[in-house]
Structure 1
Amino acid sequence: MDLVAVLVTGLFAGGVSCAAVQGGLLTGLITRQRAAQPQGSVRARLADDLTPVGGFLAGKLVSHTVLGALLGAVGSAAELSVGARTWLQIGAGLLIVVFGLAQLGVPGFRKIVIEAPQSWMKVVRGRARSRAALAPALLGFVTVLIPCGVTLSVEALALSSGSALAGAATMAVFVLGTGPLFAVLGYAAHKAATAWRGRLAVATGLVVLAMGLYTLNGGLELSGSPLAASRIAHAVGFADEPAVTTASSTMDGQQTVVITATTGAYSPDNVQVRAGVPTTLVVKSDNAQGCVRSFIIRDEQKILPVRGETRIDLGVLQPGRLDYACGMGMYTGVITVI
């Protein structure tokens, strides 16, 4: 297994993706902690500024390494069904929404905070840096329940490794790759916590709330719920993009539909095909990274390669629409059957 490639994925695609989902939680927590003006040497002040994000990354590293070991050990038996993953994502979205509302101070939610147990606080009494790191460490640990898009692909690698050691190494290297961007976010939040505490709390609360709704909508898309954004838009009169007819061809009574998976999109996202004809869907991966590699259609998941083709037998299609999506419901498409 190429751990260098995993590290690069974490540094670039993983850092951005995970920071979008989890970064607001980290900065929100830091701004809500009691800010103390760091004293002493430049090195001491820098250590104080980076303590919260260090705790967050340590907790995140521990939980994801354990998850990687479990996935690698049990192999394919650990793979969750599409239905289970859908409900897990809906739950994660609701959890992030709750954190966002708490950050914004909405009545009924403002008392929801992440704090270390009092028994832990007794152990580190009088040690300011340890106290500052405990709550972020707990938050980092539970981010394993709030997956970001690229993480799913890395979890699939850990799952396919067939080794607890390889699975743990894969997830650990990925988390280390995401570290630099989280360090920048945490450092900036800590430096701004005193002067901009109120404004930064509102800003991060809005970001967390938006990402929670985005994550929740992905789960609703996967479940086919009428509350999903795409279905609400369709119901109120926003029509889908015109169906593309040139992406399908018929030869010897067999229909072939071709779509392309790239990082962040499926193209075309609305393909028109004929009903009553045996149909094969060909998904061409063009340097596909992240969530698009987890391709779900008819409640079945196919892990796409970074480059190459994946053929899926759709059988004889009936008139209507056949929806597909990435593993988190963030990138979707439809096959229109007429």
Structure 2
Amino acid sequence: MPSSVALLITGASTGLLAGGASCAAIQGGLLAGAVTRRRAPAPTSVRKTPRNSLPASETATPLAPVGAFLVGKLLSHTLLGVLLGIFGSALQPSPRVQAVLMLAAGLLMVLFALDLFGVKGVGRLVPRPPASFGRLMRRSTKTDSAVTPALIGFATVLVPCGVTLSMELLAITSGSAVAGAAVMAGFVLGTSPLFAVLGYLFRRSSQALSGRLAALTGVVVLVVAVWTMASALQAGGWVSFRTPGKTTAASGPFIVEGVEENDPLYDPGAGQTGVDLAPVSIDASGKQIVTLTVTDFYVPTQFTARAGVPTTLVLHGKDSGGCARAFTIPELGVQEIVKRDGDTEIDLGTRKPGTLRFSCAMGMQTGAIDFKKDLQ
């Protein structure tokens, strides 16, 4: 079993090299909304500041809310690592629960965006700590901007990105609280430089221009919110926004869809739609084998297979990476981390006619198997 130090280094290097961009795509909107929120008007009873001085919150370093966000994120992920190391996969939410959490995050981003636009009444809906807790924190930090970013950073554990799921699996298999905490803490530390730069830029620009970038930031947050909610709907297996490409026939009596002629894996001379293994086949025992090749993408993305036949899905890892490695079938509650190079088998049982959707954990890569009766 790897040592805790080795797991810490593994987590940090993964976060630095791969996790930062992946997590920024889904959590960046939360960060932007947290560090550039419009401040609520000060109560009239508050003592006025001298004319030539600025409020403490304006003179505070722009890194304060960014640091609070990262500290909250580090704390929650470290605690999750402890729990995963102790209790293992029992704490892993199902794909559809994760999709619901992504939808909630998207809705929260919408609130942040509307708050940045100055929409009246929205500020009451934006999560804020209790007033008494806020006063306590302000006495010690001299700023009103650190509490909410810390809470939002803590809550990012509920909205994992694709690479985070790989680290969670590593924490589960570590077998100890210390090792689980090490891998998750290392991962967050590895992603921190990119998050710190993004947060600093969001915060600094809004201060330098006296808030005139609030509307622009709101647009960015709103776009990320829409993207997040669309991904969540796909990750939950409820909808698919993919437009099927030109279809090609596989060898044998089955049709495989979704490999276009301009796809780098397409090879009409291979008789197998360009992948290493026949996408749909029947073995000697009569079992139907559906083979999905996983690189940074899924190939093919659409299958047509025979219903009423015992079926096994083979995830054929071929230098797999990114979100595609975190494979899910929401309808069945299946979650698998695809081997970088190698096969992972999933028993689908005997399927009735209908469509079975699959996706990566973030809903960015999707596909489906269309089971048909009496397919010739």
TM-score bracket relative to the smaller structure: 0.7 to 0.9
Conserved 8 A contact 1:102-1:111: no
One-letter code aligned to 1:167? G
Matched residue, 1:269: 301
Say whether the 8 Å CA contact 2:33–2:112 is kept in structure 1. Answer: no
Show the 5 A alignment for 1:172-183: 172-183=185-196
The answer to whether the Cα contact below 8 Å between 1:21 and 1:208 also exists between their aligned partners in 2 is no
1:287 alignment partner in structure 2: 319
In the alignment, structure 2 segments of 5+ residues that lack a partner are: 40-52, 251-271, 273-278
- Residues 119 and 318 (structure 1), Cα distance of their counterparts in 2 relative to 1, 3 Å cut: closer
Instruction: Report the 3-state secondary structure (helix = DSSP H, G, I; strand = E; otherwise coil) of the residue aligned with 1:281.
Output: strand
For residue 36 of structure 2, the aligned residue among 11, 26, 31 is 31
Q: Aligned with 1:10: secondary structure? A: helix
Pair 216,241 (structure 1): closer, same or farther in 2 beyond 3 Å: farther
The answer for the alignment partner of 2:348 in structure 1 is 314
- More deviation, 196-205/323-332: 196-205
Aligned equivalents of 1:131, 1:110: Cα separation in 2: 15
Alpha-carbon spacing, 1:286–1:5, altered in 2? closer, same or farther (3 Å): farther
Change in CA separation of 1:48 and 1:223 when aligned onto 2, cut-off 3 Å: closer
Q: Which of 56, 74, 78 is residue 61 of structure 1 equivalent to? A: 74
Secondary structure at 1:311's aligned position in 2?
strand
User: Quick one: which of 280, 294, 305 aligns to 1:248?
Assistant: 280
Letter in 1 for 2:290: V
- Work out the CA distance in 2 between the residues paired with 1:187 and 1:209: 19
| Aligned residues of 1:257 and 1:282 also touching (Cα < 8 A) | yes
Aligned residue for 2:61, secondary structure, equals: helix
Cα distance in 2 between the residues matched to 1:305 and 1:84? 24
Higher helix share: 1
* C-alpha RMSD of matched pairs (Å): 3.1
Residue aligning to 2:50: none
Indicate whether 1:214 and 2:227 are aligned: yes
**Are 1:10 and 2:43 an aligned pair?**
no
The TM-score, its normalising length taken from structure 2, stands at 0.74
Aligned residue for 2:363, secondary structure, equals coil
The aligned counterpart of 1:97 is 110
Shift of 1:176: 0.5
For residue 42 of structure 1, what is the aligned residue in structure 2? none
Question: Residues 184-234 of structure 1: CA distance to partner in whole angstroms, max 9, x if unpaired?
Answer: 112212321234455532232223223323332333224443xx352xx7x
Q: 1:148 to 1:102 in 2, by over 3 A?
A: farther
Q: 2 CA distance for matches of 1:267 and 1:211? A: 27
- 1:326 offset after TM fit, Å? 1.7
Distance (Å, rounded) in 2 between the aligned partners of 1:170 and 1:152: 12
Residue of structure 2 equivalent to 1:334? 368
Q: Which amino acid aligns with 1:157?
A: L
| Unaligned stretches of 5+ residues in structure 1 | 40-44
Q: After TM superposition, give the deviation of residue 177 of structure 1 in Å.
A: 0.6
Residue 172 (structure 1) shift: 0.8
Letter in 2 for 1:255: Q
